[in-house]
Amino acid sequence: LQFVVSYCLRGANSACFDLLLRGLLNRTSVPREVVDYIVYGTVIQEVKTSNVAREAALGAGFSDKTPAHTVTMACISSNQAMTTGVGMIAAGQCDVVVAGGVELMSDVPIRHSRKMRKTMLTLNRAKTLGQKLSLLSKIRPDYFAPELPAVAEFSTSETMGHSADRLAAAFAVSRLEQDEYALRSHTLAKKAQDEGLLLDVVPFKVPGKDTVTKDNGIRPSSMEQMGKLKPAFVKPYGTVTAANSSFLTDGASAVLLMSEEKALAMGYKPKAYLRDFVYVSQDPKDQLLLGPTYATPKVLEKAGLTMADIDVFEFHEAFAGQILANLKAMDSDWFAQNYMGRKSKVGAPPLEKFNTWGGSLSLGHPFAATGCRLVMTAAHRLKKEGGQYGLVAACAAGGSSFPARLCHARVVSVAL
């Protein structure tokens, strides 16, 4: 596994699609013609690039004979891209797959109103000038009101932030605890960056601005400053704020997946092995962000391991309250027995092994790109810390989740 990630400044264009593929090839020296397939994930589709994996591949100079497709599974879209690639390799269909994810939160598609869309489609079918003028004369000022992208769950009409606030309240996670955890994330990310551990960034020239050479959302603050912020979702008494929530950013990520035989034949030493993974889904109303709690014991059982066997944990930090609620749920026999049908708890990860290079709260959350970052951060940590097993987990919109197990030159596990 090799990994490249780029966090672009707001305003960056789609050039970071193929930039990451070029960066991956440059860092690995893998010839383009060796790649059998490309799978990319994205959440907010751009109509002009409905299959962004294919367009990025062509833009990066891959052969037009190299197939590529795009997947979407909310915030675990690049996880789905990776496991799709793993499946292709396991089935003997491919030896080398590039997987990743991309999101441009600074340039999301914004639609015209439904009335305007209907009028424009009808106008396209008008045959005479008179018919066109007649349709245009019916346009009213309210037709020009845009439909802004929804951040709410389709099935519940509730924003994820509102759900995170309810989840924190349900598990008695205080505002103070959330702010303390968020500060921890930024502090650890700054330390990792200063120590040269976050080296996977491909420099990106933002049109009209400077070149981005490192993650630019890391901002260690103070408890006093964070405490001044007002609730962002549940007002006036909520506990989720801008400071203890992950921020949205542009970003792209890519990993190189190979069968062991192919990697060794080409002279590569595998950085990590992706051994086990599962996907789970829960009630999107009350358990939207509890996926890691449900997924982690399943992937551990599949691997024949316990929490004590895991050396490195990398969990997606959508919200500080979400992380802390999951840790409490995982450490609760009552929750395991009443909600999960288990006899006992799986146990909470020890914080000294948990997201020690920061996380989404400090590095940002470019929806579809985050999954690859989690997996490769775990792989890097396993190598540096001399660990054997890593576990990655992430929640996603719709109540989905992914856990996986990784191994440094042996195994890695992922929970989704």
Catalytically active residues, by annotation:
75, 395
Residues contacting 81, CB < 8 A, separation 6+? 39, 40, 41, 71, 99, 100, 101, 371, 372
Amino acid 133 reads L
To which H or E segment does residue 155 belong? Answer: none
SS3 14: coil
Q: What is the phi/psi pair of residue 170, to 5°? A: -65, -35
Residues contacting 350, CB < 8 A, separation 6+? none
Beta strands of 72-156 (E only): which ranges?
A: 96-103
Angle formed by the axes of helices 52-59 and 15-28, to 10°? 60
> How far is Cα 332 from Cα 294, in angstroms, rounded to an integer?
12
> How far is Cα 394 from Cα 387, in angstroms, rounded to an integer?
21
Angle in degrees, CA 401, 327, 298, rounded to 5: 45
